[in-house]
Amino acid sequence: MNTDPANISDNTALYTLQLPSKFDSVITMENFVDNISEKYNFSEETYANVLTCLSEAIINAIVHGNKEDESKKVYLNLEVVEGKRLIFTIADEGDGFDFNSLPDPTAPENLQSLSGRGVFIIKRLADQCIFNSKGNEMELHFKL
């Protein structure tokens, strides 16, 4: 794993990872977050929020986006505006989904469901969550 950034300006760095659609990729992402967290001195809260959101996003991309097809990739990009913010982009090679019509996991009929909370959790923990129109890419913002 290369954690050397491409510097796109004096105070902005860009990192990219291409992950196979298998669950071991979550470990690769966790190691990446550990390294980045140490380099940019994340607070404990930011570290926990980033790790939780990226875990949910990567698993959703593998399972729902790429249908666990190991020949397909999950793309993880990170733009670090030093001292200010982190912008993660997670994309898969799937068909996307309608992110505006997800069932509410807090509705009484969904409380016992074992899945369907990932996007809900991400929206609560990230400072901003933006989907592309196709629904196969999300952008997550975190303040430093």
Domain assignment present for residue 28? The answer is yes
For residue 133, name the pLDDT band (cuts at 50, 70, 90): very high
Domain that holds residue 41: 6-143
Note the pTM of the prediction, 2 decimals: 0.91
Given this model, what pLDDT does residue 100 score? 83
Given this model, what pLDDT does residue 103 score? 81
Residue-averaged pLDDT of the chain:
93
Tell me 111's DSSP state.
T
The CATH code of the domain that includes 37 is 3.30.565.10
Domain assignment present for residue 1? The answer is no
What are the pLDDT digits (tens) for 4-13?
A: 777 667 789 9
Least confidently predicted of 8-12, 63-67, 74-78, 127-131: 8-12
Q: Indicate the number of domains in the chain.
A: 1
Domain assignment present for residue 36? The answer is yes
66-91 burial string, b = 16+ CB within 10 Å, else e? beeeeebbbebbbbbeeeeebbbbbb
Domain assignment present for residue 135? The answer is yes
